[in-house]
């Protein structure tokens, strides 16, 4: 194994990142070293790249970027027993403390002392990366590295759709970014009766159709209320999966839910969102559910089954694959919105 590697490093508190040649890290006790086969760009990577307020408050450069990946274990730190050299793995990206109230009660994914791979620690946009043993997920060898790399956002989509108990129900997905797009085949695999998707970007509306949505509309130009009334016989949708974080989409989504229905929110708004609670939530008896990350590790088992049994086709969501060196091209595309998932190959 070589002693140096290339890595995409956030070098300072400003726009951009640099490709650097740096030493291959040593796995410490309880960690494994993984040779990265594929990695993929997440919305949070773009925030770190552009250096927004959230990044400023969470990231401490210099640091290697990235958290979504698939690769092969090449070395073990002291005390690692559940993983072997040669295992084909991906990484859960929430690093739980294991000691807090949440961790001790089966809620590791919302640990109060949570660290996130590639946000609070060195990430995976590199030839090699160090992963905590607790976060290592052994992939089924039948799953390709590019699909295995995007299981992390697929887990976000699974957790959101799961919250809706969508079997035989009418579902509205607001926002067709990568997580929204992945939510479409998941909703279909879970047995949704109809899947309606709203998305202002033309390119992503087109992708939403390819991913298997029944109805796809531009909420800024078309009449969502009329469409929902027609599709649901005037009842309204049973469940909204809010994937955009846009205040307008959250408000519009709430209005489409039938009384007694549910909304799960995965999209992260920039700031406070004003909701008219009495008519839109309280008097309609709506369940509102916050979703963060993925339940560990239930969502990974579901992702494995769906991929292995080909219950979902996620190929259309991977719109671009670049060499790692071209990460800046990937970031620009992400910023334009004219892409699905962008996969990088070291
Ligand atoms: Zn991600
Ligand atoms: Zn904890």
Instruction: Give whole-number Cα distances, 110 to 78, 93, 115, in Å.
Output: 27, 12, 10
Structural domains of the chain, ranges and CATH numbers in brackets: 4-150+314-345 (3.90.180.10), 157-290 (3.40.50.720)
| Band of residue 270 on the pLDDT scale cut at 50, 70, 90 | confident
Mean pLDDT of the chain: 97
What is residue 105's predicted lDDT score, i.e. its pLDDT? 97
Residue with tokens 């043993």: 133
Give percent of the chain above pLDDT 90: 99
* 154 alpha carbon, closest ligand: 1
Task: Tell me the C-alpha distance between 271 and 94, whole Å.
Answer: 23
Given a cut of 80, is residue 164 above it in pLDDT?
yes
Instruction: Quickly count: other Cβ atoms within 10 Å of residue 169's Cβ.
Output: 21
How much is the average pLDDT of 23-49? 97
Write the CB contacts of 340 (distance below 8 Å, at least 6 apart in sequence): 178, 181, 204, 207, 316, 317, 318, 319, 320
Strand bridging mode 31-40 / 341-345: antiparallel
The DSSP code for 126 is: B
Ligand positioned closest to the Cα atom of 152: 1
pLDDT tens for each residue of 206-219: 999 999 999 999 99
Ligand 2 centroid, distance to 108 Cα (angstroms): 6
The predicted model gives 324-341 an average pLDDT of: 97
Q: How far is the CA of 339 from the centre of ligand 1 (A)?
A: 15
Question: From the CA of 295, how far away is ligand 2's center (Å)?
Answer: 13
Take residue 68 and report the two structure tokens written for it: 């979504």
Residue 176 CA to residue 186 CA, distance in Å, equals 13
Q: What's the confidence (pLDDT) of residue 65?
A: 98
pLDDT band at 2 (very low <50, low <70, confident <90, very high): confident
pLDDT surpassing 80 at residue 81: yes
Instruction: Report whether 197 contacts 180 (CB < 8 A).
Output: yes
CA of 301 to the centre of ligand 2 (A): 22
Distance 104 CA to ligand 2 centre (A): 7
Q: How far is the CA of 112 from the centre of ligand 2 (A)?
A: 5
Q: pLDDT tens digit string along 229-259?
A: 999 999 999 999 999 999 999 999 999 999 9
Ligand 1 centroid distance, CA of 253 (Å) = 24
Distance 174 CA to ligand 1 centre (A): 19
DSSP-H helix ranges across the chain: 43-50, 53-58, 101-104, 145-149, 151-162, 178-189, 202-210, 224-231, 247-256, 277, 298-308, 327-336
Q: Read off the pTM.
A: 0.96
- Per-residue pLDDT band at 93 (split at 50, 70, 90): very high
Between the CA of 294 and the centroid of ligand 2 the distance, in Å, is 15
User: 86 C-alpha to center of ligand 1: Å?
Assistant: 24
CA 320 / ligand 1 centre spacing (Å): 16
- Report which bound ligand comes closest to the CA of 44: 1
Spacing, Cα 90 to ligand 2 middle (Å): 21
């Amino acid at each position: 194994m070589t002693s140096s590697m290339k890595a995409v490093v956030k070098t300072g508190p400003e726009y951009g990142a640099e490709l650097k040649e740096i030493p291959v890290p040593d796995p410490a006790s309880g960690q494994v070293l993984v040779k990265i086969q594929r990695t993929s760009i997440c919305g949070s990577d773009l925030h770190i790249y552009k250096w927004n307020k959230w990044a400023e408050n969470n990231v401490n450069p210099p640091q290697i970027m990235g958290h979504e990946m698939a690769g092969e274990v090449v070395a073990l730190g002291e005390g690692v027993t559940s993983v072997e050299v040669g295992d084909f793995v991906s990484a859960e990206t929430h690093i739980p403390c294991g000691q807090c109230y949440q961790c001790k009660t089966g809620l590791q994914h919302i640990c109060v002392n949570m660290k996130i791979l590639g946000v609070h620690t060195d990430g995976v946009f590199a030839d090699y990366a160090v992963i905590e043993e607790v976060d290592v997920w052994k992939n089924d060898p039948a799953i390709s590295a590019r699909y295995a790399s995007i299981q992390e956002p697929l887990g976000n989509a699974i957790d959101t759709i799961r919250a809706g108990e969508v079997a035989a129900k009418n579902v509205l997905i607001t926002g067709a970014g990568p997580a929204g797009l992945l939510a479409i085949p998941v909703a279909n695999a879970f047995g949704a009766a109809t899947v309606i998707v709203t998305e202002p970007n033309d390119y992503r509306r087109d992708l939403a159709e390819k991913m298997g949505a029944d109805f796809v509309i531009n909420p800024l130009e078309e009449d969502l209320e009329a469409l929902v009334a027609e599709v649901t016989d005037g009842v309204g949708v049973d469940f909204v999966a809010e994937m955009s974080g846009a205040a307008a989409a959250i408000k519009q989504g709430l209005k489409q839910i039938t009384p007694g229905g549910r909304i799960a929110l995965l999209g992260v708004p920039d700031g406070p969102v004003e909701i008219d609670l009495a008519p839109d939530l309280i008097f309609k008896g709506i369940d509102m559910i916050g979703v963060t990350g993925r339940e560990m590790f239930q969502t990974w088992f579901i992702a494995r089954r769906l991929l292995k049994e080909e219950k979902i086709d996620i190929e259309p969501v991977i719109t671009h694959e670049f060499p790692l060196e071209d990460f800046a091209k990937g970031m620009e595309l992400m910023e334009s919105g004219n892409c699905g998932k962008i996969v990088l190959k070291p």
